[in-house]
Structure 1
Amino acid sequence: MRGHLVVCGDTPLAFRLADELTTRYLQDVTVILPSKKRNHGPQIARLPRVKVHEALELNDEAFRDVNADLARAVALVGNSEVGNIHAALRVQELNPGARLVIRMSNTSLGARIRTLFNDCAVLSDGAMAAPSFVAAALGDPAPSHVRVAGRTLYVARRSDRPKTIICGLADTRRSEGNPRLLPDPHETANLVLAVADKTPRDPLSAHRPHHRPYAFLARNLRLVLNRRLMQVVLVLLAVIVLGTLALALSGGSSFSESLYLVLLDLAGAANPDTSLGGAAKATQVIVTLASLALVPAITAAVVDALVRARLAGPLALSEPISGHVVVVGLGGVGVRVVAQLNDLGVPVVCVEMNEDAVGVPLARREKLPIVFGDATRKETLRSAWVNTCRAVVTVTSDDITNLEAGLSSRDLKDNVRVVLRLFDDDLAGRVHRNFHIPVSRSVSFLAAPAFAAAMMERQIIGTIPVGRKVMLIADVPVAQGSALEGRPLSEANQRGESRVLAVGRRGGQHFDWEPQDGYLLVRGDRLIVLATRGGIGSVRARSIAPVPEAPWQPG
């Protein structure tokens, strides 16, 4: 069976990817998985045009059994990233010409890994799904932005005057459903692709809090001066007042002298005076002994106040805000959602249980408020000001936590927009219908189309819907001996079909976002290309090395 597709894994993404390839692209697919009876094995086995091969591990024997040496493309979408890389190396040895699509959450490592293979796309399902979560939180009808090479690009109207425009995207004035894509000159486009630079482009900006330093100080004092500490302070004041009065009346000293002696006694510096009367001596002894009891009580109360402030998280020491988005979970998906919301200028409050989560350094670097605590508890959600937020996005790795946090948010605010990440697609659908939560999304469902496109069209890293059409963003390497090697960059641009957005010279991680049309392309250059489906195919065909013809054999 030459030219077939192979998918490795029994994950939700493997199931959705196989379904996408068979139903949308009408391809024959072979799936390698450990068992038809575990995980998503039963669902995969029921798909039409899918052949299932059971193998406990992805070794050479398993790939030979499914004729991987004849496969057109192989997707490795298991949960083990090391296992995916190891299996990809096996496939390349068996079939150097096969396209490889590898699932990896670490995109920076993925960019390096892909250079080890002849024809490889390394994708993160979290990165692919994040724009949909962001769009759902903001109420956009469809994702209108994508993260590319460290930048968040978004679709804007030219009339909105975005600060940094990458290129003209489309002219939709004639027909919204059938826009003119990548018009030349690009100034004629009313829709443009722009760089998100944290400038607010959302009505949420109107809800940003006004800083009132006196109110801020009052709230901080209320947090630190808790009930226990206030009780100790009142007792201390009572001892000072009563001791001063008693010493002044019994010892014949002035009020100021009596206060001076009492404060010294409280500090442990009592000065015995045998000439004092009995009442004055008794007062001094009582004050001194009271100080011995009060010192540990004051210490305990202060420590308790500081611990409470620490456990309450940074947000407890800041002003209330409104109109923000609460993101629950700073894992692989959450960190991307937070980064894109922050780039778009949307105020964000993060909620996370684990202080070592991968997204915590980003949130701290961007000075975003974080509430550390259990998101299923209403106290934690109140600390994140859910009752005044615009949307709650729950993207932890646990379905129950996401669901409970979403429902608890609804209890605190009836009309809050809730975006749930649910691994189980069937559960997501039932939650949507029965709990009346308008948005519940599965990462595998959102990411599968991009993985399928990568298998069929290669190097797709993002999609942008424009009317009834879809623009693709691809990372295209220039191979040695290809038609583009040694040619000016302008030859990769095709009117209405493709446009180069950025160039990574000689495979480097740094991209030039203002490339010159006269720049001569060399092998190893990476092109970030915005194009139609046909345009991507054309650019890709000119970027790959020609296949050497087989030597002629006499008959």
Structure 2
Amino acid sequence: MMAERSGHVVVCGIGAVGFRTVEQLHASGIDVVVVDGGDEPEPVTEHLLGLWEIPRVAGRPRDALVEAGVEQAAAVVVVPDDDLVATETALLARRLAPGARLVVRVANRAVGRALAEVTGRGSVLDVAALSAPSVVEACLGQRPHPVEMGGRTFVVATLEAPRVGTLRALFDDLAPLAVAGPDPEQVICPGRDHRVPAGARVTVIGTEEQFAAVGRPVEPVGPVPHRAGARSAGAERAARRDEEGGRATVLTVLRTLLAEAERPLKVTAGVLLLLFVASVFVLRSGYVKPDGSHMTWVDAVYFSVETIGTVGYGDFSFAEQATWLRVYAIGMMFLGVVLAAVLFALLTQLLVSSSIERSVGRRRIGAMRGHVIVVGLGAVGIGVLEGLLAAGARPVVLERDPANRHLARARELGVPVVTGDATDTAVLSSINLREATAVAVLTSDDLVNVEAGLAIRDQLRDRWPAVPVVLRMFDRDLSEAVEEGFAFRYVRSTAALAAPWFVGAALGLDVLGTFYVDRIPFMVGRLAVGPALDGVAMRELSARTRVVALHRAGAGTLEHPPRRDTRFAAGDDAYVVGPYSELLALLRPDGQASE
């Protein structure tokens, strides 16, 4: 039996997201108990759990939850990879610990919506939906990122310093989040009196009015739509452009049929064509009409088709012709019927096969320019497609598995799909990689992603520095090695992007959004100010966090931007931004902000 404990966090599932969640909870000084389904974790994971002295309970969900002390837990995080296991565990956890904060990972949106009715609003999170926006932003470049705080829309944007000066003089009330200049190291959440050189890239947050006040108006990019079947105005524009530039015409289909036809079909069609041509010449020269004249070329063509097709309208007949011509007609009808039957059978097989669809798709894509290639169509890939369409981009899918269950959804969205291997240079050429504006490699295999990324880099050649190539990676050490060793600028881990949401929800931080500033992940959250922060001034918080706004409980107003001497009051809602490790430090058990 496990020793009695209370106020701890129970994490169910020790996959990629579960391990990252445990890691961040442990780093924040939170007491954690891991529950899994009995499968042995990865050796490295098991070693680290032992090193951190985090207990692990295996067994049936109900028994394991009880042994983990779920009744006394402050929060339960349910993050197994299987939706069925997650649903069962979440329902049991809600029944056993109705007062604990509960956050659940579910990939199926319909299941997630139904489960949220039982477990509570905002308790169900989708890893794909959480991580897809970051991939979209990387593909489309630094774009204004909207975040809603206290009923107001704030925007995160990266601006260029027009001249040398302090951030206060250059950007007024816009809150600085990061500065990237000539120095290799970024300055995170600098003070407003921090001086920057001309041309420095400064990431700031503020309202649209504040951006307009400094002469830098922005138009925020809307959130990714998640409603099934919804298509934004940007998606409609992209669809229209695609139809205009790459519509599969009749000529395209005919070329495709010739390209995809296999040898038996080509041989059959060739023999039938030879029989037809021979029959036209034989009938033109040998057939004698009742008036003694010969057939015209049109009559010969017509009667050849009529005979091979065995339709026999009665306008021509071999009854009164020479014996040799009647014998020839017997052979022509017999051979024509056999060849036509075989031809139609092979042609039907080709038309109903997926190869014709793949080839038509490739020919459509061959005419496209400025498209975004998405390699690997999983749950994250679908989220990225929806985000790209919402932003008005033109995505193209490259998927290895022709039986992938998400292909129907991609086609429903009107996205061209090509089946093939992303490491094959011929396949990359067929999807017009050289004219693409970005590539997102999102398969579930790290090694495949690295191999595909290197093949793409090799094919892009001189365009490599200008084309964003986003790699999805699970292993953190490998992702860092790939970034440094192969100069990939956009390596994204879905587990690393999603874990802060689960940790924040478990500790009482209402996560509102995540985004990257270069390679550093930032998080925006709403924090209910408790007694531990009552009376604490802004300047006493970590230098790497930024309080953007305060919603005063007494006055019911939104105060922004707060000043250094502004103090928290119990019951307020604080809207904070910063690297997620710094924000989680605000939720440490001792309630003290990190220094």
Could you tell me the TM-score, scaled by structure 2's length?
0.65
What's the CA shift string for 1:120-160, capped at 9, x where partnerless? 622222222112222232344x9946899xxx9985699xx
What's the CA shift string for 1:248-302, capped at 9, x where partnerless? 3334513344444333322225766454335544543443344234313431442
Counterparts of 1:368 and 1:79, CA distance in 2: 28
Percent identity for Structure 1 against Structure 2: 27
Alignment-derived partner of residue 195 in structure 1: 222
RMSD after superposition: 4.7
With over 3 angstroms needed to count, the CA separation of the structure-2 counterparts of 1:493 and 1:114, relative to structure 1, is farther
Q: What's the offset of the Cα at 1:454?
A: 1.6
Alignment-derived partner of residue 295 in structure 2: 254
Match of 1:315 among 347, 358, 361: 361
With over 3 angstroms needed to count, the CA separation of the structure-2 counterparts of 1:400 and 1:276, relative to structure 1, is same
Match of 1:360 among 386, 389, 407: 407
- Is the CA contact 1:461–1:474 (under 8 Å) kept in the aligned structure 2? yes
SS at match of 1:3: coil
With over 3 angstroms needed to count, the CA separation of the structure-2 counterparts of 1:31 and 1:289, relative to structure 1, is closer
Alignment-derived partner of residue 339 in structure 1: 386
Number of residue equivalences? 474
Counterparts of 1:241 and 1:136, CA distance in 2: 59
Q: Which amino acid aligns with 1:242?
A: A
Matches for 1:37-116 after TM superposition, within 5 Å:
38-39=41-42, 41-46=45-50, 48=52, 50-60=53-63, 62-116=64-118
Q: What's the offset of the Cα at 1:339?
A: 0.7
Which consecutive residues of structure 1, in runs of 5 or more, have no partner in the other structure? 159-169, 477-488, 499-528, 535-555
Alignment-derived partner of residue 558 in structure 2: 494
Counterparts of 2:456 and 2:46, CA distance in 1: 35
- Is the CA contact 1:387–1:412 (under 8 Å) kept in the aligned structure 2? yes
Matches for 1:82-481 after TM superposition, within 5 Å:
82-117=84-119, 121-140=123-142, 144=145, 171=174, 179=204, 181-182=206-207, 188=213, 190-191=217-218, 193-195=220-222, 198=232, 211=244, 216-226=249-259, 232-252=268-288, 253-256=294-297, 257-268=299-310, 273=318, 275-306=320-351, 307=353, 309-312=355-358, 315-316=361-362, 318=364, 320=366, 321-353=368-400, 357=404, 359-373=406-420, 375=422, 380-410=427-457, 412-414=459-461, 415=464, 417-434=468-485, 436-464=487-515, 472=524
Q: Which amino acid aligns with 1:245?
A: F
Counterparts of 1:434 and 1:388, CA distance in 2: 26
Counterparts of 1:9 and 1:254, CA distance in 2: 83
Q: What's the offset of the Cα at 1:335?
A: 1.1
With over 3 angstroms needed to count, the CA separation of the structure-2 counterparts of 1:71 and 1:266, relative to structure 1, is closer
* 1:15 is aligned to 2:15: no
Q: What's the offset of the Cα at 1:371?
A: 2.3
- Is the CA contact 2:155–2:206 (under 8 Å) kept in the aligned structure 1? no
- Is the CA contact 2:482–2:488 (under 8 Å) kept in the aligned structure 1? yes
Q: What's the offset of the Cα at 1:348?
A: 0.4
What's the CA shift string for 1:399-418, capped at 9, x where partnerless? 44444444444454443643
Alignment-derived partner of residue 481 in structure 1: none
With over 3 angstroms needed to count, the CA separation of the structure-2 counterparts of 1:230 and 1:34, relative to structure 1, is closer
Counterparts of 1:59 and 1:221, CA distance in 2: 61
Q: Which amino acid aligns with 2:383?
A: R
Counterparts of 1:214 and 1:460, CA distance in 2: 43
Q: Which amino acid aligns with 1:255?
A: T
Q: Which amino acid aligns with 1:29?
A: V
Q: What's the offset of the Cα at 1:222?
A: 0.7
With over 3 angstroms needed to count, the CA separation of the structure-2 counterparts of 1:181 and 1:269, relative to structure 1, is closer
Q: What's the offset of the Cα at 1:83?
A: 3.1
Q: Which amino acid aligns with 1:268?
A: T
SS at match of 2:280: helix
What's the CA shift string for 1:418-447, capped at 9, x where partnerless? 323233333333444555544333211221
What's the CA shift string for 1:140-198, capped at 9, x where partnerless? 4x9946899xxx9985699xxxxxxxxxxx83698875856448889648456442685
With over 3 angstroms needed to count, the CA separation of the structure-2 counterparts of 1:313 and 1:474, relative to structure 1, is farther
Q: Which amino acid aligns with 1:221?
A: L
